[in-house]
């Protein structure tokens, strides 16, 4: 099971995620997020992570091409475009930056074919990204994408194994579910989440 720990706040939190066995770490640079980091902070965290771990820059409120340029500058190797980006915008970013993930919610009635916009992976989130709200998995099960996709939204150490069993994603993503407060990562919860997800998958 592929596991991404997102919204990381420090080099120390990234180290805990990596040591726990996470396959990817995410840094948020969206202006409205309590988890937002500056370009300098993102670069420092990404530099601390082994090249074997995916380094994902997450954005939702900047132009896709600008995000692609920033991703390259801060040392990310994946750009995650979250929200209402169009196919043309995603493809334009992909012309600048080679690895693009598309993140969306079933509430937006999205295109669920992985790769439809040229992305390598699809992330399905709850209606309010980063809120910790979990949604009814029965809807997802009836509309489950094929290919590589990540389940996100309301996951935490106590429910991730069950969610994996029900939805059968290729991987999972967590942010608020491993926090002690919005934007503040709890190291023990990170360890517990990665362990539960790896066992569950």
Global pTM? Answer: 0.93
Which residue has 């993102």 as its token pair? 42
Residue 87 CA to its chain's centroid (Å):
19
The whole-angstrom separation of Cα 197 and Cα 156 is 9
The whole-angstrom separation of Cα 116 and Cα 52 is 27
Residue 135 CA to its chain's centroid (Å):
17
**Residues identified as active-site:** 6, 125
Q: What is the pLDDT of residue 43?
A: 98
78-93 pLDDT, tens digit per residue, is 999 998 899 999 999 9
113-159 pLDDT, tens digit per residue, is 899 999 999 998 876 655 555 666 666 666 778 889 999 988 999 99
Q: What domains are there in the chain, each with its CATH number?
A: 2-200 (3.20.20.70)
| Nearest residue to 2 via CA among 147, 186, 176 | 147
| Nearest residue to 114 via CA among 148, 150, 79, 153 | 148
H-only helix segments in 79-170 = 87-96, 137-142, 160-167
Q: Are 126 and 152 in contact (CB under 8 A)?
A: yes
Taking residue 184's Cβ as centre, other Cβ atoms within 10 Å add up to 14
Q: What is the pLDDT of residue 131?
A: 53
2-17 pLDDT, tens digit per residue, is 999 999 999 999 999 9
């Amino acid at each position: 099971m592929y596991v991404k720990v997102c919204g990381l706040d420090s080099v120390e939190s990234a180290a805990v995620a990596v040591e726990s066995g996470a396959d990817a770490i995410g840094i948020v640079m969206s202006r409205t997020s309590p988890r937002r980091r500056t370009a300098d902070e993102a670069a420092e965290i990404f530099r601390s992570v082994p090249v074997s771990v995916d380094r994902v820059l997450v954005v939702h409120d900047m132009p896709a091409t600008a995000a692609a340029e920033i991703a390259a500058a801060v040392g990310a190797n994946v750009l995650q475009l979250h929200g209402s980006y169009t196919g043309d915008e995603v493809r334009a970013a992909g012309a600048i930056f080679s690895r693009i993930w598309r993140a969306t919610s079933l509430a937006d009635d999205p295109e669920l074919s992985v790769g439809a916009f040229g992305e390598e992976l699809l992330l399905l989130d709850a209606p309010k990204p980063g809120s910790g709200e979990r949604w009814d998995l029965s809807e997802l099960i009836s509309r489950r994408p094929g290919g590589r996709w990540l389940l996100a939204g309301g996951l935490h150490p106590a429910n991730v194994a069950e969610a994996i069993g029900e939805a059968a994603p290729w991987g999972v993503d967590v942010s608020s579910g491993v926090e002690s407060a919005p934007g503040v990562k709890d190291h023990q919860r990170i360890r517990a989440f990665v362990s539960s997800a790896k066992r569950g998958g």
